[in-house]
Chains A and B, each alone.
Chain A
Amino acid sequence: MTRRLPSTTRAKLPGIVGVAVLLAVWQLVCLGGLVPRYMLPSPVDVVTAFVEDAPALWENLLITLQEAFLGLAIGILVGFVFAVAMDAFDILYKIFYPILVITQTIPTVAIAPLLVLWFGYEMTPKVILVVLVTFFPVAVGLLDGFRGVDPDAVGLLRSMGAGWWQIFRYLKCPWALPQFFSGLRIAAAYSMVGAVISEWLGGFGGLGVYMTRVKKAFAFDKMFAVIFLISALSLALMALVGWLERRCMPYRRVDEKKRRT
């Protein structure tokens, strides 16, 4: 029977079974009364809460998604500008690389309240936080890609009379695509988490705000519903990046096929 399944599904089968078993055990633990229901709702309770709360979730979801997407888009842009500048001028690389690393050691939770104080309770501080957490993986990925270009390939293009812009366009950018996408995948996951965290620390709407609200009401089932929604969204976003990656790099499928045979 398994032979009829497409190879990708077959490869993912153990993972799917693992998650299913985990959920089943959880449900049994709750049914058996090992943990009081108000502390740990069963998966069925969570699904029920999710369905009942759907309109409120949807409304808040839109806000969070907006922040995450806007932040991610600006983050990609900023990361790109940094990577190009640092690749083109070695002195900029030496100046900015340590600074970039330092920005990543500052815990998000610590600066989010500051951002709220500076920029208010509206969307701005959330978007800024998402930019802060997403530009770094994009910048580093791109930079590694640019720097990994075969110097002989640069020599070849120069011998054909190519200038800086042509080398950038025909060589460096496409060459850096794989690393860019690895960075983007991480950035996409960070963008959701970043938006939610910044909402926790002050705001009028969004999944993070909703989460603090249901927490205060001790509505554990609703909290779990939000948690699942957020992780599902992160997964969907990463899948979207994966799809984009395959679209942009069709030649990689050939390499993969070769490696498998």
Chain B
Amino acid sequence: MEKLEVRNVSLAFGDKQVLRDVSLYLKQGELVCLLGVSGGGKTTLFNVISGLLRPDEGQVFLDGEEVTGQPGRISYMLQKDLLLPYRTIQDNVALPLMLRGVKKKEARAQAVALFPQFGLEGTETLWPGQLSGGMRQRAALLRTYLFSQNVALLDEPFSALDTLTKGAVHEWYLKVMDEIRLSTLFITHDIDEAILLSDRIYLLMDGRMGEEIVVDAPRPRHVEFNLTPEFLAYKRRILAALHGKG
């Protein structure tokens, strides 16, 4: 049984068909990427998987149980970090626990216990406005993780970061992922990022599922992986698939 399975999902907004018969799966502990150009339906697909949107057709399964149109089951990190400016970092991160009814004190304690692993120690009582973009992203990621250690959807988690910061965050992210083994589906339009981070890559084009590419390079990977011939071979394959199978 797969951790997460999306079966034949279709969705239209008015007469615009956004998703056409999309299917995918995610295994326990896998890091899978959804790659495609902007406006290709990636975020809509995430809204369906998270339960925020109900598809016209198709189903979503979590551990074999149908969760179509049911929010509150799968962690979802949206494009922006969406840290609430009026809550301290620890209270932002602990928010999903408090929403579930965990007492404030207990929720904070659980959150703060994970701060060192996410490189957030010392930021507990700061406001989001006092943190750099990279740190805010870490906090948002920890909040996602605290909501559910089951499956996480990350919508362009690193797109707001500048190139230099991005490299450092990738390195850090790969290290944390090796430790927590969260089953993750993430969106990106950055091909390098997709190859570096993923176990598998789905190409989503024009609302339709394209080629699936398995990246079986060994882990742990480092940013230098970007410079190997192996990496370039993957990149060539993806570019070919994206540009009309030329």
Chain A complexes with chain B: yes
Closest chain A residue, CB of each to CB of B148: A160
Known: A155-B78, A251-B127, A255-B129. A160 touches B84 (CB 8 A): no
The distance in angstroms between the C-alpha atoms of A162 and B101, with both chains bound, is 10
CA distance A177 to B78 in the complex (A): 24
Bound Cα distance A153, B80 (Å): 9
Listed stretches A9-17, A56-64, A117-125, A168-176; interface member: A168-176
Majority secondary structure, A binding face: helix
Q: Which B residues lie at the A interface, using CB under 8 A?
A: 47, 50-52, 71-76, 78-80, 82, 84-87, 95-96, 98-100, 127-130, 147
The 4 closest A-B pairs by CB, nearest first: A161-B72, A159-B76, A251-B127, A174-B86
* Cβ of B65 to closest chain A Cβ, rounded Å: 15
The answer to whether A29 has its CB under 8 Å from any CB of chain B is no
Q: Check if A153 sits within 8 Å of B99, measured CB to CB.
A: no
> CB-CB contacts of A221-261 with B at 8 A, as 1s and 0s?
00000000000000000000000000001110011001000
- A161 adjacent to B52 (CB under 8 Å): no
Q: Which of chain B's residues have a CB closer than 8 A to the CB of A156? A: 76, 78, 82
Inter-chain CA distance A258–B130, complex, in Å, is 9
Closest to A177 in B: B86
B contacts with A: majority SS: loop
A–B pairs, 30, beta carbons within 8 Å: A150-B80, A150-B82, A152-B79, A152-B82, A155-B52, A155-B78, A156-B78, A156-B82, A158-B72, A159-B50, A159-B51, A159-B52, A159-B71, A159-B76, A160-B71, A160-B76, A160-B96, A161-B71, A161-B72, A161-B99, A170-B84, A170-B98, A175-B86, A251-B85, A251-B127, A251-B128, A254-B130, A255-B85, A255-B129, A258-B129
Say whether A152 contacts B147, CB under 8 Å: no
Within A146-196, the residues touching B (CB, 8 Å) are 150, 152-153, 155-162, 166, 170-171, 174-175, 177
Closest approach, in angstroms, between the C-beta of A130 and any C-beta of chain B? 30
Smallest beta-carbon distance A66→chain B, Å: 33
Q: How far is the CA of A150 from the CA of B86 in the complex (A)?
A: 14
A152 neighbours in B (Cβ, 8 Å): 78-80, 82
Q: How far is the CA of A155 from the CA of B127 in the complex (A)?
A: 22
**Given A159-B50, A177-B86, A251-B85, 13 more pairs with CB closer than 8 A:** A150-B80, A153-B82, A155-B47, A156-B82, A159-B72, A160-B72, A161-B73, A166-B99, A251-B129, A254-B127, A254-B130, A255-B85, A258-B129
Shortest A180–chain B CB gap in Å is 12
Total interface residues on A, using CB and 8 Å?
Answer: 23
- Give the B-binding residues of A (Cβ under 8 A): 150, 152-153, 155-162, 166, 170-171, 174-175, 177, 249-251, 254-255, 258
Q: CB distance A170 to B71 under 8 Å?
A: no
Name which of A150, A152, A160 has the most chain B CB atoms within 10 A of its CB. Answer: A160
Indicate if the CB atoms of A171 and B84 lie closer than 8 Å.
yes
By a CB distance below 8 angstroms, the chain A residues around B99 are: 157, 160-162, 166, 170
Name the CB-closest residue of A to B153: A159
Most buried by A among B52, B82, B85, B86: B86
How distant is the Cα of A201 from the Cα of B64 in the complex, in angstroms? 74
Bound together, the chains give a CA A136 to CA B95 distance in angstroms of 33
Contacts of A251 in B (CB 8 A): 85-86, 127-129
Q: Give the Cβ gap from A226 to chain B, nearest Cβ, in Å.
A: 41
**Chain A, residue nearest B126 (CB):** A254
Contacts of A161 in B (CB 8 A): 71-73, 99-100
Which residues of A have CB within 8 Å of B72? Answer: 158-162
A158 surroundings in chain B (CB, below 8 A): 52, 71-72
